[in-house]
Amino acid sequence: MRVTLTIALSGLLATSPAYATTLDINVEVPKLNVAEYHRPYVAVWLEGADQKVAANLSVWYQQTSNSEGHGTKWLPDLRQWWRKSGRTLEVPVDGVTGPTRPVGTHALSFNDRAPALKQLAPGSYTLVVEAVREVGGRELLKVPFTWPAKAAQSGSAQGTTELGKVTLAIKP
């Protein structure tokens, strides 16, 4: 009985992605040879052709307070994100904001039923990834794409300082 149920459920799960467009993003936080290292603040968002934020996908920042203040104090250092979205956003945002992440490649996956993508009007978009690090630098990478995807699309951008490789793969 239980086995059948599991099979039935997995059958459901297996069929659902067939109808959904998936948007897979990899963001690499590079290993840096520096004396004082702090994990970067990273914002991942989608921009429309008007260069306005169409959807916030992920924002990583220090979620707690320390002697220097609460982690939100340094959110404006994600300058473009702050200007375009952050300053009018009430953080934390469920499903978007989260703690900073360590060195490595981080996979983010969304489908067209995700709240961020459900409202997306057809058109040209840019995936933007901005990273800024305490006592470090700031870097911003862009990967253009078209929505909705008629065929599979992929793109990537290579960072040089605060970001490694950022890849985008869209499967209709």
Q: Which residues contact 131 (CB under 8 A, 6 or more apart)?
A: 29, 40, 41, 42, 43, 78, 138, 139, 140, 159, 162, 163
For other proteins, which stretch binds (CB under 8 A), given 33-41, 50-58, 65-73, 117-125?
Answer: 65-73
Rounded least distance, CB 75 to other proteins, Å = 5
Structure tokens at 85: 């979205």
137 binds other proteins (CB under 8 A): no
For other proteins, which stretch binds (CB under 8 A), given 11-19, 32-40, 64-72, 92-100?
Answer: 64-72
d(CA 104, CA 2): 38
Of 43, 46, 75, 132, the one binding other proteins by CB under 8 A: 75
Of 31, 83, 118, 142, the one binding other proteins by CB under 8 A: 83
76 binds other proteins (CB under 8 A): yes
Cβ nearer to other proteins, comparing 15 with 66: 66
74 binds other proteins (CB under 8 A): yes
Task: Answer yes or no: are the C-beta atoms of 86 and 77 closer than 8 Å.
Answer: no
79 binds other proteins (CB under 8 A): yes
Torsion angles phi and psi, residue 95, rounded to 5:
80, -5
For other proteins, which stretch binds (CB under 8 A), given 21-29, 36-44, 63-71, 128-136?
Answer: 63-71
Task: Answer yes or no: are the C-beta atoms of 96 and 114 closer than 8 Å.
Answer: no
Torsion angles phi and psi, residue 149, rounded to 5:
-80, 125
Cβ nearer to other proteins, comparing 22 with 80: 80
Q: Strand locations in 7-52, DSSP E?
A: 22-29, 41-48
Torsion angles phi and psi, residue 4, rounded to 5:
-60, -45
Cβ nearer to other proteins, comparing 29 with 84: 84
Q: Which residues bind other proteins (CB under 8 A)?
A: 65, 69-70, 72-76, 79-80, 82-83, 86-88
